[in-house]
Structure 1
Amino acid sequence: MAELHVIGQIVGASGFAAKKLFCVWEISSGGAWTAISGDKDGQTQVDRPEIDDFALWSHPLDVHFATKGIQGWPKISFQVWSVDNYNRSEMCAYGFCNIPSTPGEHKVECETWRPVGGLRDRIITFFLGGGPQLRDLNVVHNGLQRHRLYTKSMGKVYLQIGVLMRGFEKFGVEFS
């Protein structure tokens, strides 16, 4: 079996209007992939930037996969949340990016977005806060379902990822 090691960190996020941010993350993959060790999901701590708008999380990632093929390559999805002055959590944005498919160190910037909803939803959001949320989180990384949503661009999530691969040449995958 081929093996994939993903080692790195969720560095932080910027470009969000809200302060006191945290991130819920999940690494998903196809049926041919098995997580041998490490956490495939988690949550960062809350950070409230004092000087600029960069929320610093430095949350570790360390996952080891085994696979018999490259179909269903792993991807990481994010939900960025904010905490208000009353300690209520509010959804800020969704995003995802593919785990890099070449060995080495990678700096990845993940664009995020949030659903806008209709006029009624926007009025409710303006007066009460909150906003529309997804019922099915698979929509985040499934383009066939996501194209029907009205969305608004939000900030970015930054990652530093080291990718180690072993045994992929058995399946005809070569890296130059």
Structure 2
Amino acid sequence: MAAAGSPSVFLVSVTGQIESGRFPGFDDLYCKFCFVYGQDWVPTAGLEEGISQITSTSDVSPTTLVWNFPIDITFKSTNPSGWPQIVVSVYGPDFFGHDVVRGYGAVHVPFTPGRHTRTIPMFVPESTSRLQQFTSWFTGRRPEFTDPRVVAQGEGREVTRVRSQGFVTISFNVVTKDMQKLGYNFGHVTSCV
């Protein structure tokens, strides 16, 4: 039984930004994000999901799309199982002007406190046959996930055909409180993600 005054939960605060993306051959893209986490995790402050502005490449940086879209959330939990992940989905116009997915990706929030930068490889689902590919191109209805959170979970993805497409860079500032008091010490971990 916990002693009086000792914590029963720990806190993880995450700030930072979805900095930029590289999607060769694509322009005028925006991104969405959401957090996926385990049953013992509860958001106590901040936003669990968001959508950025549309950005374009520039003459100075013709391959980089800059969003600098802020993220800010605080979680409480009783154990590290189900450590939060951020799922990023990038969208943009196709040849016909329809918004289509240009990439999905996910990464765990870093386990150690401090400033971290992660580059997420992005992917898109693909049609399984030539007929489906032609039909999806012709109608402007390309394959996409009905819920992007599936990207951070193992269930339901075993038979999905995907193609790599682009990268997104995210910076994290992670602060933890009371983890060591509950017996969790990630301070000596060198590489977790």
Normalising by structure 1, we get a TM-score of: 0.92
Structure richer in strand, relative to its length: 1
RMSD over aligned Cα, in angstroms?
A: 1.7
Q: Could you tell me which of 30, 38, 49 is aligned with 1:30?
A: 38
Supply the distance in 2 between the matched residues of 1:138 and 1:27 (Cα, whole angstroms): 8
Give the alignment partner of residue 99 of structure 1, picking from 109, 118, 137: 109
Give the unaligned 5+ runs of structure 1.
none
Unmatched tracts of structure 2, length 5 or more: 1-8, 189-193
1:16/1:27 CA distance change after superposition, 3 Å = farther
Percent of residue pairs bearing the same amino acid type? 24
Matches within 5 A, 1:51-90: 51=59, 52-83=62-93, 88-90=98-100
2:151 is paired with a residue of what secondary structure? helix
Cα deviation, residue 58, structure 1: 0.3
CA distance in 2: counterparts of 1:143 and 1:57, whole angstroms = 29
Q: How many residues align?
A: 176
Q: Distance in 1 between matches of 2:67 and 2:121?
A: 17
Which of 90, 110, 121 is matched with 1:111 structurally? 121
CA distance in 2, matches of 1:166, 1:15: 37
Residue 85 of structure 1, CA deviation: 7.6
How far 1:130 sits from its partner (Å)? 4.1
User: Highest CA radius of gyration, 1 or 2?
Assistant: 2
TM-score (ref. length: structure 2) = 0.84
